[in-house]
Amino acid sequence: MKMKLLVAAAATVLASSAMAQSAFEGFYGQIGTGYESNNASSLNTTGTNVSPPNDAWNVSNQSFGGVPAVVGLGYNFSVAPQWLIGIGADYSAINQKSSNFNYTSGGASTNGSATYGSSLQTSNRFNIFVTPGYAIDKDKLVYLKAGYSSVSLKQNFPSSYTNAPGQTPIPYSTPSQTNTLSGYVVGLGYKQMIANGFYGFGEANYMSYSSASFTSSAGTGNNKYVLSNSPSLSSYQLLVGVGYKF
């Protein structure tokens, strides 16, 4: 009788362990898309004009986004019944570009001066992260995401400028500049196994970055302006996609 009870207890433990083992343990690869939004702030510049000397140049915050394509790889470890820890990396393969925006001078000496045709572009977003997860059952996983993020931010400088209101814009060309920004990513996600190792997922991510540093020049002679700004960037992505657990 005791032997039967021991065998039954052992069988129950083994069955429970089997049920608790998540289908998401091991290596995986996935691709997702959805919506991405970027917000660039602190775009106002301080300017040095050859004559007169100093001005403030103003522009509103810029929000821009679009449809991303995010590819990811990772590995999930089982650390306790129904609990997993994952490590992973993902890459955003599509650039996002803002609409053109203009700077206007608020300085008393050059009030009414303006530059036209600036824009911003993000590219090469790369995240490295950990994902603590809870297996709701064998085929369902909810997880958090936290780690390091980097992104390239390019500022395309103005294509023309004016020295006074109503003046015909004067064309000029200044090379664009790119900064690589570092920051962090946090997120929340859900995965559900479909069949034969394939799964679907949904994920929401937020990323925040250090400030960039840009300097541009416009015009010639006494009408030459040197503009400097340090924009900051924050982004979020709402993703849905499919993956495969190897």
Q: pLDDT exceeding 90 applies to what percent of the chain?
A: 61
Strand bridging mode 69-80 / 101-105: unpaired
The yes-or-no verdict on residue 209 having pLDDT over 90 is: yes
**Mean pLDDT, rounded, for 112-140:** 93
The yes-or-no verdict on residue 16 having pLDDT over 50 is: no
**Mean pLDDT, rounded, for 185-196:** 97
Q: Is residue 19 very low, low, confident or very high in pLDDT (cuts 50, 70, 90)? A: very low
Bigger pLDDT: 87 or 166? Answer: 87
The yes-or-no verdict on residue 132 having pLDDT over 70 is: yes
Reported as type and span, the H/E element at residue 87 is: strand 83-92
CB 98 within 8 A of CB 117: no
Alpha-carbon gap, residue 37 to 175, rounded angstroms: 26
The yes-or-no verdict on residue 75 having pLDDT over 90 is: yes
Per-residue pLDDT at 176: 87
| Nearest alpha-carbon partner for 57 in 110, 97, 121, 99 | 110
State whether residue 157 is helix, strand or coil.
coil
| Nearest alpha-carbon partner for 203 in 217, 221, 185 | 185
Mean pLDDT of the chain: 86
Residue 171 has a CB neighbour count (10 Å cut-off) of 10
The yes-or-no verdict on residue 18 having pLDDT over 50 is: no
Per-residue pLDDT at 166: 73
The yes-or-no verdict on residue 7 having pLDDT over 50 is: no
The yes-or-no verdict on residue 118 having pLDDT over 50 is: yes
Per-residue pLDDT at 6: 42
* Tens-digit pLDDT profile for residues 145-173: 999 999 999 998 888 877 777 778 878 77
Lowest-pLDDT choice from 37-46, 103-112, 148-157:
103-112
Lowest-pLDDT choice from 54-68, 171-185, 210-224:
210-224
CA-to-CA separations, 56 to 49, 103, 116, 130, 211, in angstroms, rounded: 10, 10, 16, 43, 19
The yes-or-no verdict on residue 50 having pLDDT over 60 is: no
Alpha-carbon gap, residue 44 to 41, rounded angstroms: 8
Per-residue pLDDT at 137: 95
Radius of gyration over every alpha carbon of the chain, rounded to an integer in angstroms: 26
The yes-or-no verdict on residue 5 having pLDDT over 70 is: no
- Type of residue found at 115: T
Strand bridging mode 225-229 / 45-49: antiparallel
Structure-token match 């997860």, residue found: 133
